[in-house]
Chain A
Amino acid sequence: MAGDILVVAEHSDGAVKRPSLEALTCAAGLAGSLGGSVTALVAGPGAADAASACGAHGAAKVLTLDVDVADTNAWAAAVAGVATEASPALVLFSHTARGKDLAPRVAGKLDRPLASDCTELSVDGGAVVARRPVYAGKALVNVSASGTLLATLRPNAVPATENAAAGETSAADVKAPEKGLGAVLAEIVAAASEKIELTEAAVVVSGGRGLKEAANFNLVEDLAAALGGAVGASRAVVDAGWRPHTEQVGQTGKTVSPNLYIAIAISGAIQHLAGMRTSNYIVAINKDPEAPIFKVADYGIVGDAFEVVPRLTEAVKAAAAAG
Chain B
Amino acid sequence: MNIVVCIKRVPATDTRIKVGADGTSIDETQVESIISPYDEFAVEAALQLKEAAGAGEVTVVSLGPAETTKELRTCLAMGADKAVLLKDGDAAKRDAQTTAAALAACISGLNADLVLCGKQAVDRDQGQVGTLLAAKLGLPCVTEIKKLEVADGKATVERAGDGGTTETWNVTLPAVLTTTKGLNEPRYAGLKGIMAAKKKPIEEVDAALDDAHITVKSLELPPPRREGRIIGEGPDAVDELMRLLREEAKVL
Cα separation A73 to B124 with both chains bound (whole Å): 25
Confirm or deny: A301 has a beta carbon within 8 angstroms of a beta carbon on chain B: yes
* Beta-carbon contact of A301 and B230 below 8 Å: yes
* Beta-carbon contact of A117 and B164 below 8 Å: no
Cα separation A299 to B220 with both chains bound (whole Å): 27
Confirm or deny: B79 has a beta carbon within 8 angstroms of a beta carbon on chain A: no
* Beta-carbon contact of A245 and B181 below 8 Å: yes
* Beta-carbon contact of A191 and B165 below 8 Å: yes
* Beta-carbon contact of B237 and A129 below 8 Å: no
- Using CB atoms, name the residue of chain B closest to A269: B14
* Beta-carbon contact of B244 and A299 below 8 Å: yes
Stretch binding the partner chain, chosen from B42-50, B108-116, B166-174: B166-174
Confirm or deny: B251 has a beta carbon within 8 angstroms of a beta carbon on chain A: yes
Which of B222, B244, B251 contacts A139 (CB under 8 A)?
Answer: B222
Residues of B close to A113: CB separation below 8 A: 95-97, 213-214
Chain A: residues with Cβ within 8 Å of the partner, total of: 91
- Using CB atoms, name the residue of chain A closest to B244: A299
In chain B, positions 70-115 with a C-beta closer than 8 Å to chain A are: 95-97, 100
CB of A196, distance to nearest CB on chain B (Å): 8
Residues of B close to A143: CB separation below 8 A: 214-217
Which of A112, A244, A307 contacts B235 (CB under 8 A)?
Answer: A307
Q: Please encode chain B, from 181 to 201, with 1 for each CB lying within 8 Å of some chain A CB and 0 for all others.
A: 110000000000000000000
Which of B13, B26, B38, B249 contacts A136 (CB under 8 A)?
Answer: B13
* Beta-carbon contact of A142 and B38 below 8 Å: no
* Beta-carbon contact of A283 and B166 below 8 Å: no
- Using CB atoms, name the residue of chain B closest to A187: B168
Cα separation A193 to B18 with both chains bound (whole Å): 43
Residues of A close to B182: CB separation below 8 A: 244-246
Residues of B close to A260: CB separation below 8 A: 245, 249, 251
* Beta-carbon contact of B217 and A140 below 8 Å: no
Confirm or deny: A14 has a beta carbon within 8 angstroms of a beta carbon on chain B: no
Residues of A close to B144: CB separation below 8 A: 101
Q: Please encode chain B, from 146 to 188, with 1 for each CB lying within 8 Å of some chain A CB and 0 for all others.
A: 1000000000100011111111111110010000111000000
Residues of A close to B217: CB separation below 8 A: 129, 141-144
- Using CB atoms, name the residue of chain B closest to A230: B164
Known A-B contacts A113-B96, A270-B13, A295-B228; A301 and B233 likewise in contact (beta carbons under 8 Å): yes
Q: Please encode chain A, from 136 to 154, with 1 for each CB lying within 8 Å of some chain B CB and 0 for all others.
A: 1111111111000100000
* Beta-carbon contact of B140 and A182 below 8 Å: yes
Cα separation A294 to B232 with both chains bound (whole Å): 12
* Beta-carbon contact of A251 and B13 below 8 Å: yes
Known A-B contacts A183-B175, A253-B181; A294 and B228 likewise in contact (beta carbons under 8 Å): yes
CB of B14, distance to nearest CB on chain A (Å): 5
Residues of A close to B237: CB separation below 8 A: 301, 303, 308
Residues of A close to B167: CB separation below 8 A: 185, 187-189
Cα separation A188 to B17 with both chains bound (whole Å): 40
16 A-B pairs with CB atoms under 8 Å apart are: A108-B131, A108-B134, A117-B127, A141-B216, A184-B169, A190-B165, A191-B165, A195-B164, A197-B164, A203-B251, A252-B122, A282-B225, A295-B228, A303-B233, A308-B235, A315-B242
Interface residues of B (CB under 8 A from A): 11, 13-17, 19, 24, 26, 37-38, 95-97, 100, 122-128, 130-132, 134-136, 138-144, 146, 156, 160-172, 175, 180-182, 213-222, 225-226, 228-235, 237-239, 241-242, 244-246, 249, 251-252
Given A109-B135, A294-B228, A308-B237, 20 more contacts at CB 8 Å? Answer: A107-B97, A107-B128, A117-B127, A132-B125, A136-B125, A138-B16, A141-B24, A183-B142, A184-B170, A186-B168, A186-B170, A188-B166, A189-B166, A191-B163, A203-B251, A245-B146, A281-B245, A281-B249, A298-B226, A304-B234
Interface residues of A (CB under 8 A from B): 73, 96-98, 100-101, 103-105, 107-109, 111-117, 129, 132-145, 149, 180-191, 194-197, 203, 238, 244-246, 248, 251-253, 259-260, 270-271, 274, 277-278, 280-284, 289, 294-304, 307-308, 311-312, 315-316, 319
Nearest 10 Cβ contacts at the A-B interface: A108-B135, A191-B164, A195-B164, A182-B140, A104-B131, A182-B172, A245-B182, A183-B140, A104-B128, A113-B214
